[in-house]
Amino acid sequence: MAESSRSGDCIFCRIAAGEVPATVVHEDEMVVAFRDVNPQAPPHVLLIPRRHMASLNIVSQGDEAILGHIVRVAVRVAESEGLADRGYRLVANCGPDAGQSVDHVHFHLLGGGGMGWPPG
């Protein structure tokens, strides 16, 4: 298992704890999904494990269940956002070259078309 259950100065831990407001679209015992405060697409939802893990680089075998659950929740959120048939992108930025700006593992669910490949 990666790192402690929470990191006091982590914005996503604070959102998961309900200490910082966010527009939550799904939450359960393992995962919270909420709308990105600075959306890059309509819609733009972030999915995070409740438990603090700083980076995909420190994910371990014990994290496989939660990561698999996040993907399944992402598909459910995509369905509820009306994206299932149109398509969507699920992406995780890891490290400086990818532009990771919050050190708590998160997946971006992006929809609405107009997405280029490869991403910039």
Active-site option among 52, 104, 106, 108: 106
| Binding-site partner at residue 10 among ligand 5GP, Zn ion, none, CB < 5 to 8 Å by type | Zn ion
As to burial, measured by CB atoms within 10 angstroms (0-12 exposed, 13-18 middle, 19+ buried), residue 75 is middle
Let me know: does 54 contact 120? Beta carbons within 8 Å. Answer: no
Let me know: does 48 contact 67? Beta carbons within 8 Å. Answer: no
Q: How far is the CB of 56 from ligand 5GP (least distance, A)?
A: 11
Let me know: does 106 contact 48? Beta carbons within 8 Å. Answer: yes
| Binding-site partner at residue 100 among ligand 5GP, Zn ion, none, CB < 5 to 8 Å by type | ligand 5GP
Q: How far is the CB of 108 from ligand 5GP (least distance, A)?
A: 6
Annotation says 108 is catalytic: no
As annotated, the active-site residues are 106
